[in-house]
Amino acid sequence: MRNLILFIWKHYFVFLFLLLETLCVYLVVQNNNFQRAGFVNSSNQVSASVLSTAENIQQYFYLKSENERLAKENAELHSHDLLSFSVLVNDQYSVNDTLFRQKYSYTSAKVVNNSTNRRNNFLTLDKGSKQGITNKMGVISSSGVIGIVKDVSENFCTVMSVLHSKTTISAKLKKDGTFGPLNWDGESFAYATLNDIPTHVRLVQGDTIVTSQYTKMFPENILIGTVESYFRESAKPFYTVKVKLSTDFKKLTYVYIVNNMLKGEQEILEKNSEADKKE
């Protein structure tokens, strides 16, 4: 035993190195696990407060373009407003609406940290568990899909953007509903890849790609992008489609976090069916 301690003491440099490296690898692996919340990320208090201060200063430079964008969005919302529809019948009546019920609610959030030039890109938003954000919620902006919430702290959350190797979004062609998984190949922040589109589908450059009805994180028909080009890998009956993303990930300031109110119910039901199948 004494010799062992002497041996370790003599080569303490190597052992300390191995110890620290193991710790690092543990952190990397743990953080890769989507379900577990990582500790070392930019939603912790110290780094988030530094980053949000920097972002506050930076925002002044984008005020003009941001104002223009908000004015545009306002104009669009006004066109959906009741006041902009003319009343056809003068009689007043109230309807207890049992055909529609609210499924999604939205929380607006400010982007305090963003990256586009790495293989795995993240955003940090200034909304957290205090505002009712939980992980795996979808994030969209007025121009399209942004990503999925990963870690949540009290006042901040981090988002795996579409530009992340592990983000997969169920997407479909708007014109005929053919769906497939959308990934990012790491080449350019303006393009993503849509896989598994059968070759009998007639694709045209400029076709709209939207979120499919099979994702629990996003409402259906949220814009993702347009078809840029497509090719068929040899011996596969599928097209691989290059999608031009509608969102400019370099110019994000305000985004919306999507809360699917019926997600819990759906998940419990599906879990029960899964359990039955195994028996």
User: What is the contact surface with other proteins in residues (CB under 8 A)?
Assistant: 12-13, 16-17, 20-21, 23-28, 30-31, 38-42, 44, 46-47, 50-51, 54, 115-120, 122, 124, 158, 186-189
- Angle formed by the axes of helices 12-32 and 2-10, to 10°? 80
Region of 33 on the Ramachandran plot (φ > 0 left; ψ -120 to 50 alpha; else beta): beta
Q: Which is nearer to other proteins, 114 or 141 (CB)?
A: 114
Q: How far is the CB of 261 from other proteins (least distance, A)?
A: 29
Q: How far is the CB of 38 from other proteins (least distance, A)?
A: 5
CA distance 67 to 203: 37
Q: How far is the CB of 243 from other proteins (least distance, A)?
A: 18
CA distance 173 to 247: 17
Q: Which is nearer to other proteins, 96 or 117 (CB)?
A: 117
Please give the structure tokens belonging to residue 141. Answer: 């902006």
Sign of CA dihedral 207, 208, 213, 216: positive
Q: How far is the CB of 40 from other proteins (least distance, A)?
A: 4
Q: How far is the CB of 144 from other proteins (least distance, A)?
A: 21
Q: Which is nearer to other proteins, 250 or 271 (CB)?
A: 250
Please give the structure tokens belonging to residue 69. Answer: 């964008």
Q: How far is the CB of 255 from other proteins (least distance, A)?
A: 17
Q: Which is nearer to other proteins, 122 or 179 (CB)?
A: 122
CA distance 141 to 143: 5
Tell me which H or E stretch contains 269. helix 263-278
Interior CA angle at 112 toward 108 and 116, to 5°? 105
Please give the structure tokens belonging to residue 42. Answer: 């930019």
Q: Which is nearer to other proteins, 116 or 170 (CB)?
A: 116
CA distance 245 to 184: 10
Q: Which is nearer to other proteins, 53 or 213 (CB)?
A: 53
Do the beta carbons of residue 157 and residue 43 sit within 8 Å? Answer: yes
